[in-house]
């Protein structure tokens, strides 16, 4: 057993492993932290890959995967992989079980109402968690960075794109200069070349993180441009490069996740930016 391993019992599922990783993210040795980041960002790859393929993708040696598993008292790579495979089984079972339960408990028009109630309940729980865990000082600092920027660059892809799209619409109405990254012309890199240290970036991405978003954020951060991000993990690549970042965990219903809490945060940021600029 690795002498630096934790004393706690081995995690029994993906969420308990994730909680242990996040709790110890600052004390993990460099290579183990690299593995931790990769596994949380690419859980399906860990579930389906081999030790060699996962190690290659994480840019570590296979022995490092074994050390990582042992650090959390798991039985080598096979024990680690089992956690990620069970996650897939639980996700599928949950999806099927919830749909079956809806079918059993509702009929006709009430079935659709139950689906609506399920999503509404999940949205309410997500928003409650967001407000409970929000750090007011962090929110104020993020708003200050964005409000002081000459131009706000909005970056999001795939599931996160509705957030940047909404913010672009609202910022336009509020007459705040911005650039929405995600052009049909395919000239996003060229648009980002105009960004300077007087500007700021608002980036949104959730696991599995969009590679374009990660690449853009890394490049902009290396140029010294302030990054504010909304993401779902301390090991998210967006958190790594952001001056301020917000962790948003959306509650799912029947295997589907909405963007309720994320949208609420986006709306709050947008209005607060405009208000601060007006007062200034």
Residues 6+ apart with CB under 8 A from 27: none
pLDDT by residue for the chain (280 residues), tens only, comes to 444 555 567 888 887 888 788 778 778 899 998 898 888 777 878 888 899 999 999 899 999 999 999 999 998 999 999 988 887 765 555 555 555 655 654 455 566 777 888 888 889 988 998 998 899 999 999 999 999 999 999 999 988 999 999 999 999 999 999 999 987 777 888 999 999 999 999 999 987 788 889 889 999 999 999 999 999 877 788 888 899 999 898 887 777 788 999 999 999 999 999 999 988 7
Secondary structure element (H or E) that encloses residue 257, with its range: strand 256-257
Paired with 180 in beta bridges are 154
Residue 114 has what DSSP assignment?
H
Residues 6+ apart with CB under 8 A from 51: 62, 65, 66, 77
| 19 alpha-carbon distance from chain centroid | 15
3-state DSSP assignment of residue 73? coil
Let me know: does 131 contact 263? Beta carbons within 8 Å: no
Concatenating the DSSP letter of every residue in 85-109 gives HHHHHHHHHHHHHHHHHHHHH--TH
Let me know: does 234 contact 254? Beta carbons within 8 Å: no
End-to-end CA distance of the chain: 58
- Report the C-alpha gap between 125 and 262 in whole angstroms: 12
Position 25 scores a pLDDT of 78
Position 225 scores a pLDDT of 96
Ordered alpha helix ranges (H), the chain:
14-23, 30-41, 43-48, 51-58, 62-71, 76-105, 109-133, 136-148, 161-173, 188-192, 211-222, 237-241, 260-279
Concatenating the DSSP letter of every residue in 208-225 gives SPPHHHHHHHHHHHHTT-
Give the chain's domains with CATH numbers.
Answer: 14-86 (1.10.10.10), 133-279 (3.40.50.10490)
- Report the C-alpha gap between 211 and 161 in whole angstroms: 13
Q: Scanning the structure block, which residue is given the tokens 């690795």?
A: 2
């Amino acid at each position: 057993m690795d002498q630096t391993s934790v004393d706690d019992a081995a995690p029994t599922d993906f969420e308990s492993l994730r909680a242990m990783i996040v709790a110890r993210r600052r004390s993990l040795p460099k290579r183990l932290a690299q593995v931790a980041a990769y596994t949380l960002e690419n859980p399906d790859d860990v579930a389906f890959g081999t030790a060699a393929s996962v190690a290659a993708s994480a840019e570590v040696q296979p022995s490092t995967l074994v050390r990582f598993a042992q650090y959390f008292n798991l039985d080598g790579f096979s024990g680690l992989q089992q956690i990620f495979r069970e996650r897939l089984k639980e996700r599928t079972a949950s999806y099927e079980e919830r749909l079956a339960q809806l079918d059993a408990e509702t009929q006709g028009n009430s079935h659709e109402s139950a689906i609506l109630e399920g999503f509404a309940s999940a949205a309410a729980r997500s928003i409650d968690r967001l407000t409970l865990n929000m750090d007011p000082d962090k929110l104020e600092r993020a708003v200050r960075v964005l409000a002081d920027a000459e131009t706000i660059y909005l970056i999001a892809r795939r599931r996160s794109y509705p957030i940047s799209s909404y913010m672009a619409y609202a910022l336009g109405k509020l007459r705040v200069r911005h650039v929405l990254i995600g052009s049909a012309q395919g000239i996003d890199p060229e648009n980002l070349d105009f960004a300077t240290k007087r500007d700021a970036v608002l980036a949104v991405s959730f696991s599995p993180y969009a590679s374009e978003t990660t690449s853009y954020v890394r490049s902009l951060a290396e140029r010294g441009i302030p990054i504010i991000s909304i993401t779902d993990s301390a090991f998210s690549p967006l958190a790594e490069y952001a001056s301020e970042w917000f962790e948003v965990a959306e509650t799912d219903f029947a295997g589907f996740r909405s963007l309720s809490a994320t949208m609420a945060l986006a709306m709050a940021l947008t209005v607060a930016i405009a208000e601060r600029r007006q007062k200034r």
